[in-house]
A and B are shown apart, each in its own frame.
Chain A
């Protein structure tokens, strides 16, 4: 990420400019569609030249769109796309109560993750057992059980990523759920159970993160998780 930013010429000096850009975006959102450049600069008390430059930059990047006679601005669809990438919509109440129910029966972190295409995102993180490194988990699919479940499923469909050895894929598919130990914390690990829609497509995963010992011999825990996953299926697909 840092390399990527450097390649785009983002320097230590620029956070202020980025802050101003967000302020402009915020102002367009506040005033609603059709606000003009002059109004934005007056409302923010920002020098006109600066406001015009920022507005034009945001138009270039398509976060803003010029309307009608080109004098008015509106938020571009890209704003929403960005927002969905960063913060997925909160799952419905019915889903959250099932996950909470599972949490009362299990010692360890119970998390709900959703899949779309080749990416995963955390839909409901256990408030009592936070994820060790959520960013790495979503970025590096091979290190977590949630990611491995997705990779194995993609592999089954013929999408080979090379991130997971064929042995692990076969093992995961045979077992029906994915397991990982020691990647984030040597003494802990996690397992992830698939949640599928009626056609059998993988839509989400219910995962448990706990001690290595319990991951290797889940026993009764597996039953609790399986039951939760099967109840979540119709609600998430």
Chain B
């Protein structure tokens, strides 16, 4: 241990380290693994998706619903593992946008950035609308007041949007704690229900063996595509790169666990629904609230009520988590100068991207409220919003998967397996997004697809114009949390760094 002992006894001075991170101002290294996991899990909102996704998948894939879900899980795992090549090496708040910038450069980063902003923004709108819808449903059930569903729903959405803004501004720990509690409760309820249904008729398990004769390739592809949209959001903890303690350990773990946990939950839920509908003789396709119908058929109607509460709560948690990621991407862009500098301002006491939240949340709340009022139906509005979100997310995933091998090559750490899995994930996801968008253009929600393409083009154009006027941006984008002097043995002494307790700065030497 000679060299190590020498290095410790007389640390070599390392020059060129900044005193503070380019992303300073946030509560650096302040949240633990549970909070990071909560961020990713809530953005996926598995409790909400566990009932809707298997139904949608079954409607398309029929008996091959479980294999389609399993295929989606494998693709999601490969994507997560590829994204983790970045999260193990780089702590950022810009999530995939920053990663793509570091791998492929400015142009692709714009595309990924706009895609990601659309993804986070529209999933937050979707979740807010969904939470408002369920809240309105619960209010009318508990205390029937003579308001119509749309008025009540939009009112609830506006109120929830305000709560969301307060939670976001107040501090990262509050956001993640709220979402963690809500998500754990909802998932626990669903697991109980799954176990209850399967245990009540274990002989139904044979029905889960897929019939190979009924295999339909196109249906399977569309079903797997739908299933993948239920996983989007798993990477959102990457936006907590600055705020997580031990980010290079906790973020990759949170991302992998989220995909695995959600996948298992979906598989379990799909199995329970297949068995449940078969045993009770109910028709899955005509069921508007499968959780409620199943719970009622199995003699536990209160469980259905509880599930509605938990789905509403889970959707609200999803809104909080997606906005959390959204405002951090905006914060990153503000710090770089790609957006006005004011986006990169952090609140001095709460140490949150306060200005970005105050600008983004009103938009995230107003758009779905207006859309619902125009369409006149919350569900219909939600199905349009989710198209924007899913397409934006998957576009960003594809670019991140292409960027990963380039990035690894650039820092001299490429490997055959990393390249292979990135290639598989990128081509599978490209297929997915193509199938998904083409499928949707045929239906009555085609407006969502064209809207997405128009918004994407507009976003890229705005960024491009901004960069033409500020050519130096080419070298400025993709900021991440550099090692500061305080992190490195022999870094410039007297560096300012922030301690773990989050109580404020202290002098380290």
Interface set of A (CB-CB < 8 Å, partner B): 22, 25-27, 29-30, 32-33, 36-38, 48-49, 52, 56, 59-62, 65-71, 74-77, 79-80, 83
Contacts and interface: CB of A to CB of B under 8 A. Distances in A.
A37 B412 contact: yes
Interface string B238-251: 00000000101100
Contact of B3 (A29, A38, A48): A29
B374 interface: no
B487 interface: yes
Interface of B: 1-8, 11-12, 14, 16-17, 88-90, 102, 246, 248-249, 410-413, 415, 417, 482-483, 486-491
A60 B246 CA distance: 6
B490 A68 contact: no
A38 B413 contact: yes
A149 to B, nearest CB: 29
Nearest to B248: A60
B89 A79 contact: no
Given A38-B412, A61-B249, A68-B16, A75 B7 contact: yes
A36 to B, nearest CB: 5
A26 B413 contact: no
Contact of B489 (A26, A27, A37, A74): A74
B489 A71 contact: no
Residue picked from B89, B482, B483, most chain A C-beta under 10 Å = B483
Contacts of B11: 75, 80
A212 to B, nearest CB: 40
A222 B3 CA distance: 44
Given A26-B1, A38-B413, A70 B490 contact: no
Contacts of A61: 246, 249
Contacts of B413: 37-38, 52, 71
A101 to B, nearest CB: 28
Residue picked from A27, A30, A33, A60, most chain B C-beta under 10 Å = A33
A220 B489 CA distance: 48
B88 A59 contact: yes
Given A36-B412, A74-B14, A29 B487 contact: no
Contacts of A25: 4
Contacts of A62: 246, 248, 487
A42 to B, nearest CB: 11
Shortest beta-carbon contacts, A-B, top 10: A30-B3, A71-B411, A60-B249, A29-B7, A29-B3, A75-B489, A29-B4, A65-B483, A38-B412, A60-B248
Nearest to B1: A26
Given A26-B4, A29-B6, A56-B89, A65 B488 contact: yes
Contacts of B246: 60-62
A76 B1 CA distance: 16
Contacts of B488: 33, 65, 67, 74-77
Nearest to B408: A52
A49 B488 CA distance: 25
Nearest to A34: B14
A77 B486 contact: yes
B505 to A, nearest CB: 16
A210 B12 CA distance: 44
A174 to B, nearest CB: 37
Residue picked from A37, A49, A75, most chain B C-beta under 10 Å = A75
A15 to B, nearest CB: 16
Contacts of A22: 1, 4
B490 A75 contact: yes
A49 B420 CA distance: 14
B450 to A, nearest CB: 39
Contact of A79 (B4, B6, B249, B410): B4
B1 A33 contact: no
A80 B489 CA distance: 7
Residue picked from A22, A36, A74, most chain B C-beta under 10 Å = A74
17 contacts: A26-B2, A37-B411, A49-B417, A52-B413, A56-B88, A59-B88, A62-B246, A70-B89, A70-B90, A74-B14, A74-B488, A74-B489, A75-B490, A76-B487, A79-B4, A80-B8, A83-B5
